[in-house]
Chains A and B, each alone.
Chain A
């Protein structure tokens, strides 16, 4: 039987891209900054959020992505902010359709910043557009300094790199200079932060930057 070639040239993720575009338009309409936090399991993503919520002057909500349990959502709920837990039941990343579904039970009134804590993983979450304004790479000193070059997609495409667990530096072998040199080589534009999770040292610089991003987003919206 003869075959014929049919040219398509379309994105594999066309449906997903449509969901992400919907999220982007909802966020734009309401002037909400959407940040997608990506990092390994145990990198300190939830702790970063806790420290952020403890101190922030903006109103925030959180979407938590995990394979199982509502433990992260329970930690976040303790701060009295709206939180929705998505369990992927084995899925290694969040997808835009799941986020859009979570929107149905989220209160958007007077919301400034929506954080998505992605499933702990440095590979797959970087691949899926959730309609975010920015991807934030969260990496801990305990993971080792080689992570940026080993996972170039995330570190090349993120808008900020947050190095957590700075307080562990005296006890572990972590080549801090190499870590930041590699981040810089992949992504010279990314904002860079070092945070001590226990004392909260360094969190103010992060908060100020988030506030600046929010202001910038609202200014562009008005323009």
Chain B
């Protein structure tokens, strides 16, 4: 259960940004989370609702896009995806494989209510 730590980190990033840009209310937060990240979306949303209370983020909807695992062989260049990451290239058997997607933990974008002239 490390979702609360993630939410705290999320608030630490976003609240100063809200203050800086004078965003009084955020409508939606789009996150990109890799499937290897072991994040439970419901737990993240629950923690977010609790921790964001009283802030400009309080009523924001959290939208999570799950990013599947992608891997690439550094030897033969083969690329593949799957449920479980592999330590060996399924094509040439090389162990020089890189996991290129699946570990994301990113804030993609925000949808904020525009505040008249202060938008920007």
Contacts and interface: CB of A to CB of B under 8 A. Distances in A.
Interface of A: 1-16, 91-93, 95, 123-124, 126-128, 149, 152-153, 156, 184-190
A1 B113 contact: yes
Contact of B84 (A16, A123, A184, A186): A186
A11 B105 contact: yes
A3 B113 contact: yes
Given A95-B5, A152-B84, 18 more contacts: A3-B27, A3-B111, A6-B110, A7-B108, A8-B17, A9-B106, A11-B107, A13-B6, A123-B2, A124-B5, A127-B38, A149-B84, A152-B85, A186-B86, A187-B87, A188-B87, A189-B87, A189-B95
B55 interface: no
14 contacts: A3-B27, A3-B112, A8-B110, A10-B106, A10-B107, A11-B107, A12-B9, A12-B107, A126-B38, A127-B38, A156-B85, A156-B99, A186-B87, A189-B87
B10 A12 contact: yes
A89 to B, nearest CB: 13
Interface residues of B, number: 33
A124 B9 contact: no
B85 A8 contact: no
A190 to B, nearest CB: 8
A15 B12 contact: yes
A8 B5 CA distance: 20
Contacts of B72: none
Interface in B73-109: 84-88, 95, 99, 105-109
Contacts, number: 101
A181 to B, nearest CB: 11
A5 B111 contact: yes
Contacts of B108: 7-9
Contact of B114 (A2, A12, A152): A2
Main secondary structure on chain B at its contact with chain A? mixed
B51 interface: no
Contacts of A8: 17, 107-110
A7 B32 CA distance: 12
Nearest to A8: B107
A92 B38 CA distance: 14
A190 B87 CA distance: 9
A73 B9 CA distance: 29
B31 interface: yes
B13 interface: yes
Most A CB atoms within 10 A — which of B10, B28, B36? B36
Contacts of B10: 12
8 tightest Cβ-Cβ pairs between the two chains A and B: A188-B87, A124-B2, A188-B95, A187-B87, A156-B85, A3-B111, A12-B105, A7-B109
Most A CB atoms within 10 A — which of B27, B38, B88, B99? B38
A161 to B, nearest CB: 11
Nearest to B7: A12
Contact of A184 (B37, B87, B107, B114): B87
A36 to B, nearest CB: 15
B119 interface: yes
B1 A92 contact: yes
